[in-house]
Amino acid sequence: MEGSGVITLPGKKTKLYSGSRKQARATAAIVPGNGRIRINNIPVEIVTPTVARQRIMTPLVLSGELRDKVDIDVRVSGGGFMGQAEAAAMAISKALVDWTRGQELRKRIVEYDVHLLSGDARQSETKKFGGPGARRRKQKSYR
């Protein structure tokens, strides 16, 4: 796949998978293990806020028992907490789908949310002159 973001480190069994959402960028490394998932060296079970934790856990829940066979380390930076959660979920999804090399997990993830594999390209619109925001302008009165 062109532009899939998979990087293989020479001499190791580690593959890197990237995910991005708005300004947040995440890189996931997956290795055989016993189910340890860390986000910036913090176990995923204690990530706060809860909404972000649930979003990160989505591909893990969809993968079922595969979660207990691999260790995933995710590095995420930039953006806000929800953008980081989305980017991490995307990187984890890509890693798990590539690890299984099967279509059933890919199908399950796409049925749940297609953006977990393909991304969501929407960005916030930049502010323009003449008003307080991207589109709002000062009102005019002619009377």
* Residues 50, 11: Cα–Cα separation, whole Å: 38
pLDDT at 8 exceeding the cut of 70? no
| Domain 7-118: CATH architecture, name and number where available | 2-Layer Sandwich (3.30)
Give the C-alpha distances (Å, rounded to integers) separating 81 from 47, 52, 125: 10, 7, 19
Q: What is the DSSP letter of 10?
A: T
pTM above 0.85, yes or no: no
Give residue 1's pLDDT.
Answer: 42
Q: How far apart are CA 106 and CA 63, in angstroms?
A: 9
Q: Residue ranges of the domains in the chain? A: 7-118
Say how far apart CA 104 and CA 142 lie, in whole Å.
Answer: 63
pLDDT tens digits, residue range 92-107? 999 999 998 889 999 9
